[in-house]
Amino acid sequence: MHNDIKKISLNEEQIEEIVSRLGKEISNDYNGKEPLFIGILKGCIPFMPDLLKNVSINCTLDYLRVSSYEGTKSSGKITIKGDIPSVKDKDVIIVEDILDTGRTLMNVRNLLLEEGAKSVNICVLLDKPEGRIVDIKADYVGGHVPNEFVVGYGLDYNEKYRNLPYIGVLKEEIYTH
């Protein structure tokens, strides 16, 4: 598995620092509130559990199963599988692995607002600004990556590599042959 990685984008120590910083920022900003964290499966694992360990205020959590990708290209269509969490009058924080074209998070944010959420903010581990197609920004961003396909720490290529403890760029030969 490690041989399929061209270069490391973020090592384990860097990820730990990012997650700790985001947890503190959110805890400060939501002081006095009780946010509902909604993780987008499956890419939010292990990011969301690690993030929550760094959140020092009361909160609740739920998950939403969404898929939009096939191979290394975003399909543009998103599919929600299973129940939509109850968000009525809640301050929601969506937790997602990466913001690329923006379609997934635009769709999910609009859906949760339609469902009656009081507020919806977005927390992403990574932002890939060059990939953006729809106009959306994340409120909490761990780090930025160039327009390369990255895997690890929840990010997959055809469901694999999620278990890498770091984030790295996948060798092109893995997805071109």
Residue placing its CB nearer to ligand IMP in the complex, 73 or 118:
73
43 binds Mg ion (CB under 5 A): yes
Q: Which residues contact 15 (CB under 8 A, 6 or more apart)?
A: 50, 125, 142, 153, 166, 167
Minimal distance in Å, beta carbon 155 to Mg ion?
7
- H or E segment and range at residue 63: strand 60-70
Report whether the peptide linkage leading into residue 35 is cis, meaning its omega lies within 30 degrees of zero.
no
Sign of CA dihedral 51, 118, 85, 94: negative
152 binds Mg ion (CB under 5 A): no
Minimal distance in Å, beta carbon 56 to Mg ion?
29
Pick the stretch among 30-38, 39-47, 99-107, 125-133 that binds Mg ion (CB under 5 A). 39-47
Two structure tokens written together for 121: 């903010």
154 binds Mg ion (CB under 5 A): no
Catalytic positions, written as ranges: 100
Residue placing its CB nearer to ligand IMP in the complex, 43 or 142:
43
* Binding to Mg ion, residues 56-85 (CB under 5 A): 69
Residue placing its CB nearer to Mg ion in the complex, 120 or 155:
155
Rounded-to-integer distance, Cα 176 and Cα 99, Å: 23
Residue numbers at the binding site for ligand IMP (CB under 6 A): 43, 68-69, 74, 96-104, 128, 149-151, 155-156
Rounded-to-integer distance, Cα 129 and Cα 157, Å: 20
Binding interface with Mg ion (CB under 5 A): 43, 69
